[in-house]
Amino acid sequence: MKRAQTEFSRRSPSGREAWGRLGSSTPSCSPPAAAVAAPRLWGNGVRDPRPLLWVEDHSIVWEPAQGNSPGVPEACQMVLSDITSLQGVPGEAEPPEPELVEAEVGGTALLKCGPSHSPGNFSQVDWFSVHKEKPTLIFRVRKGQGQSEPGEYQQRLSLQDRGTTLVLSHITPHDERIFLCQAKRPQSHEHRIQLRVYKAPEEPTIQVNALGISVSSKEPEEVATCVGRNGYPVPQVIWYKNGHSLKEEKNRVHIQSSQIVESSGLYTLESVLKAQLVKEDKDARFYCELNYRLPSGNHMKESREVNVQVFYPAEKVWLEVEPMGALKEGDRVEIRCLADGNPPPHFTISKQNLGTKEMEEMTPEDNGALVLESAQKEHSGLYQCQGLDLETMASLLSDPQELLVNYVSAVRVSPAAPESPEGGSLTLTCEAESNQAVEFQWLREKTGQVLEKGSVLQFHNLKREAGGGYRCMASVPSVPGLNRTQLVHVAVLGSPWMTSRERKMWVRENEVLNLSCEASGHPRPSISWSVAGTAQEQDQDPQGVLSVLNVLVTPELLRTGAECVASNSLGRNTTTIFLELASSRSTGLGTSTASPSVRANGTSTEKKLPEPESKGVAIVAVTVCVLVLAVLGASLYFFYKKGKLPCGRSGKQEITLPPSRKSEFVVEVKSDKLPEEMGLLQGSSGDQRAPGDQGEKYIDLRH
């Protein structure tokens, strides 16, 4: 006899498993009246008027043809008894759903022997683990004391709530099953619990197809692979492109997922996204999402976004020039070919020949760029790019583009070597060519000062100081940084100028000394010395020269000094250097290391000081006068204290004073020095002598 395809399975308290359908008529075993009145299917609700019942390996089958067969009534009565005990209501055979308990891997589950409102304090309880429909005793409760049975649960079970709750710790995925509680005292009771186990997967990893995808592919190609490790149960994967979820689409999108069961019972999910991409997907962002459940609710984790390389043929080629904007000579210019294909085609760059008007091929670098390290005006012209697709052998041309390199030619100044006599006039003219409007200006070389804006610089009534360098600058205002300059030296004709007419140096006898002499003029002067030695000349500028003489200090040199002579075709000039011993300087007989210089052309405002001998005499006189006054004052004060000071007049003032001024003493001192030298004796206030004063000086000795 063939068993019905859809079966109802239930375990009764007697331990037998029952499947079956109950019809409206029974030939040998009558079910309860409620069941007869409403024929029904035991298990899935499919109605069938044909009764079936038999016993086979604890399975019960019943059909009308065998209603009078021996043993069928007994089987009928046994089944009806089991069904009635299972349902608790006469004629109700469908069992209740097991209680659902959820826990996470590694956590703890509380298994209660009955609903929360059922009375507790069961004195005798047996706990079973049902795996593949086979119950296994795992725990016993006797008089409130629990005892684990040997096996996989021996170390993970404990008891609480007076024996009605079994605590399962360190939960693993293998614990997801039905747990059966049978209580026999104080009353018979059976309760089933379905334990559901959950584990969040690790963060999903995604690996993009490193080889890329061609748009010419006829079938979906692998885009990326998503992996979610160590989750339970298997999470659900959803793929996204640019934030929009992807679904299976024939010949367009295919998602292939597989899972691996680890030894721990956890699952590793691997999902492969395959798609047929188009050119617009070159910037698309793909990622995967794992959806999973925990006792706390539904959750999800997302991978990072990835972009897959998409290959597509070029449809357009164009040319770019860097830097953008106006170019000038000397700039680093890069001419680059670009295309909208991936990979880019093979590029060549051509430039129009100005003579033949034909495009001539140039050699770019590997990346399709032509680099001009220092662009020149000859690089200006018409350029064009050509791209060749090596897969389709299709050729594309860019639009021609003109390259303009702005320039300024070399600056020319006339006259090239300008010169003019002192007091004369001179005109300098500047010229330069450019493809743009040019502006000129003149600058003084040594100061950088702008003297004139324009191409012409004029001099009137030339002075010697006007000689030197002048720079003409030609610039293009419309192209920043585009300019060129030319330096020219203006020569003012005249006899040599000397830095100084004379000067003094302090020296030591028998030492080696460097004497320097500087002169300028046009024509350029030459320098000679009145004493023997080794001379070296250095050019200061086109019109100036510096001569350095290396000599030994001898008594003869100390007596005569050294004379420097500068001469050219228009005249000569001299500078005299006086040498004095440093030992005489340390005795205080001299006051200066060098005399102020006097310009050799005689136009300097510097003045010549008095001769050193007259200075020495004046200083000695001042010193002697001070000493005499000090001795005289001390003597007078001494005689006054002894009362031996004679009475009388001295010059214009009496020494004997009125009573009110007996403590005042005034001494008149007459000097035989000239009024000019006596000026050295004046106070620091600079008071002038009255007319007719013959150098007489009064010194107040009161204090």
Query: CA 623, CA 638: separation in Å to the nearest integer?
Result: 23
Would residue 68 be called left, alpha or beta, if left means φ above 0 and alpha means ψ between -120 and 50 degrees?
alpha
Same structural domain for residues 209 and 303? yes
Extract the tokens encoding 441.
């200006």
Give the span between the Cα atoms of 26 and 62, in whole angstroms: 9
Residues 144, 130 share a domain: yes
Q: Which of 476, 493, 510 is the last residue of a domain?
A: 493
- Out of 30-34, 392-396, 559-563, which region has the weakest mean confidence (pLDDT)? 30-34
Are 503 and 489 in the same domain? no
Residue 181's domain comprises: 99-198
pLDDT tens-digit map of 569-586: 889 999 999 988 887 665
- The single-letter code of the amino acid at 625 is C
Report, as an integer, the average pLDDT of 239-251.
Answer: 95
**CA quadruple 84, 87, 89, 93: dihedral sign:** negative
Q: Please report the DSSP string for 503-544 in residue order.
A: EEEEE-TT-EEEEEEEEEEESPPEEEESS-SEEEEEEEETTE
Task: Give alpha helix (H) positions in 32-191.
Answer: 33-37, 72-87
* CA 50 distance to own-chain centroid: 85
Smallest Cα–Cα separation from 251: which of 213, 208, 212, 218?
218
Q: How far apart are CA 232 and CA 200, in angstroms?
A: 7
Same domain, 169 and 249: no
Compute the distance between CA of residue 531 and CA of residue 514 in angstroms, rounded to an integer: 12
Angstrom distance (rounded) from CA 487 to CA 520? 20
Strands 213-214 and 310-311: parallel
CB 386 within 8 A of CB 400: no
Instruction: Using CB atoms within 10 Å of the CB of residue 134, give its burial: 0 to 12 exposed, 13 to 18 middle, 19+ buried.
Output: exposed
Length of the chain: 703
CB 178 within 8 A of CB 130: yes
597 domain-assigned: no
Q: Is the domain of 324 the same as that of 300?
A: no
Does the structure show a pLDDT above 90 at 266? yes
pLDDT score of 86:
41
Within this chain, do residues 120 and 187 fall inside the same structural domain, yes or no? yes
**HSE value, Cβ hemisphere, 13 Å, CA-based, for 681:** 25
Write 204-210 long-range contacts (CB < 8 A, 24+): 204/228, 204/288, 204/289, 204/290, 204/301, 204/302, 204/303, 205/229, 205/303, 206/286, 206/287, 206/288, 206/303, 206/304, 206/306, 208/286, 208/306, 208/307, 208/308, 209/308
Helices assigned H by DSSP within 283-398: none
182 lies in a domain? yes
Under 8 Å between Cβ of 338 and 319: yes
Q: Which of 174-188, 322-336, 651-665 has the highest mean pLDDT?
A: 322-336
Q: Which tokens in the block code for residue 297? A: 């609710």
Q: How do residues 267-277 score in pLDDT, each as one tens digit?
A: 999 999 999 99
CA distance 133 to 178: 9
Same-domain status, 125 and 186: yes
Please check whether residue 620 lies inside any domain of the structure: no
Identify whether 398 is part of a domain.
yes
- pLDDT of 224 above 70: yes
* CATH number, domain with residue 266: 2.60.40.10
**Distance between CA atoms of residues 360 and 353, nearest Å:** 7
**155 part of a folded domain:** yes
Query: Could you say which of 286, 311, 336 is where a domain stops?
Result: 311
Q: Which of these, 13, 29, 38, lies nearest to 64 by C-alpha position?
A: 29
User: Is it true that the peptide bond before 233 is cis, omega within 30 degrees of 0?
Assistant: yes
pLDDT for the residue 537: 87
- At residue 94, the pLDDT reads 57
For residues 216 and 265, state if they share a domain.
yes
Which of 198, 219, 235 is a domain's end point? Answer: 198
pLDDT, mean over the chain: 76
Distance CA 434, CA 505 (A): 58
Residue 396's pLDDT band, with cuts at 50, 70 and 90, is very high
pLDDT in tens, 507-554: 988 899 899 999 988 888 999 999 988 888 888 777 789 999 999 998
Residue 339: name the closest of 372, 386, 382 by CA.
386
What is the bridge-based pairing of β-strands 213-214 and 221-231? unpaired
Asked if residue 220 and residue 287 are part of one domain, the reply reads yes
Say whether both 153 and 104 belong to one domain: yes
Q: How many separate domains does the chain show? A: 5
Identify whether the C-beta of residue 679 lies closer than 8 Å to the C-beta of residue 641.
no
In a domain, residue 479? The reply is yes
Say if 70 falls within a structural domain. Answer: no
Q: What is the DSSP letter of 617?
A: H
- For tokens 């009353």, name the residue: 187
Highest mean pLDDT among 188-192, 477-481, 656-660 belongs to: 477-481
Residues 255 and 278 in one domain: yes
Residues 286 and 271 in one domain: yes
Tell me how far apart the alpha carbons of residues 197 and 170 are, in angstroms, rounded to a whole number: 11
Nearest in space to 504 (alpha carbons), one of 493, 494, 515: 515
* pTM for this prediction: 0.51
Rounded to an integer, what distance in angstroms lies between the CA atom of residue 423 and that of residue 444?
20
- 136 within some domain: yes
DSSP one-letter string for 372-400? ETT--GGG-EEEEEEEE-TTT--EEEPPP
From CA 564, how far away is CA 515, in angstroms rounded?
9
Tokens at residue 369, please? 């760029």
Q: 497 near 521, Cβ under 8 Å?
A: yes
Per-residue pLDDT, 648? 44
